[in-house]
Amino acid sequence: MLLLVSTGVYAKTDTLVVISTDYGTIKVKLYKDTPLHRNNFLKLVQSGFYDSILFHRVINTFMIQGGDPDSKHAKPGQFLGNGDLGYTISPEILPHHFHKKGVLAAARESDDVNPGKLSSACQFYIVQGKKFTSADIAQVERRIYNNDKQTIFWQFLNKPENSRLKERYIENQSERNTDSLNYLNQLIQPQIENEIANIKIHKFTPAELEAYTEVGGAPHLDGSYTVFGEVVEGIEVVDKIAAVGVDHNNRPIEDIRMKMKIEIINY
């Protein structure tokens, strides 16, 4: 049996960060092979950046998200999620770090404005997820393929020479002008056919299938977000936070603040 969700298993050379909340303590191990994200996260933890920041977006059976600097002094009911630090981090998306329950990953803006999948400098999420059936997994594989097609589509529109075409597309999208969108799609499709033809349909590995069907996770995020750590203690705290009451923006009705410290550092 594979170790799917770590429970206190880590080496003395691992870098650990302890996240304290009113619901308990979450201990996460940071991966060595995602150094850009690990070092940036450690820098922010050391500076005290995360102290008193909220878990501002919580979706049960999916994930808990925090790290928005605007949340530190946010008023009740204030919309959160757009705060940042003015820089992004290059993606470190590795196939062996997938979205099983308990992983720590970097949030980011969507592909239409961020086709390069650059990570937020400060916002992160911890996956709670849910268990998937084999039929569910097949659907997710098709969804990942379609997401890859969308990434190519937006990479094409984001080229400087296609700026006017992108403006027209976004205008018709916001106006929900279906006929014009269909026309633009037909115009664009032949120009990206070769790139789309080279996309390989994603197939989950046996390890991934075991994790997603027996323990759970969020497989539809694989390949799109950088996973840079995982919970080694306190997964039950993630479950408690994920179950709290939220408003229409998925912000917890009662603020959930965090405080972080580094337990072991190994550069």
pLDDT digits (tens, 9 = 90+) for 19-50: 999 999 999 999 999 999 999 999 999 999 99
Tally of CB atoms within 10 A around 26: 25
d(CA 137, CA 209): 8
DSSP tag of 54:
B
The answer to which of 94-98, 147-151, 156-160 has the lowest mean pLDDT is 147-151
Q: For residue 101, which of 200, 202, 2 has the smallest C-alpha distance?
A: 2
Tally of CB atoms within 10 A around 132: 22
Report the side by side order of strands in the sheet with 24-30.
Answer: 55-59, 63-66, 124-127, 103-106, 227-233, 24-30, 15-21, 259-264
Specify the pLDDT at position 13.
63
pTM metric for this prediction: 0.82
Confidence of residue 156 (pLDDT cuts 50, 70, 90): very high
State the Cα torsion 252-89-164-180 to the nearest 10°.
-40
List pLDDT tens digits, range 105-155. 999 999 888 989 999 999 999 999 999 998 999 899 888 888 888 889 998
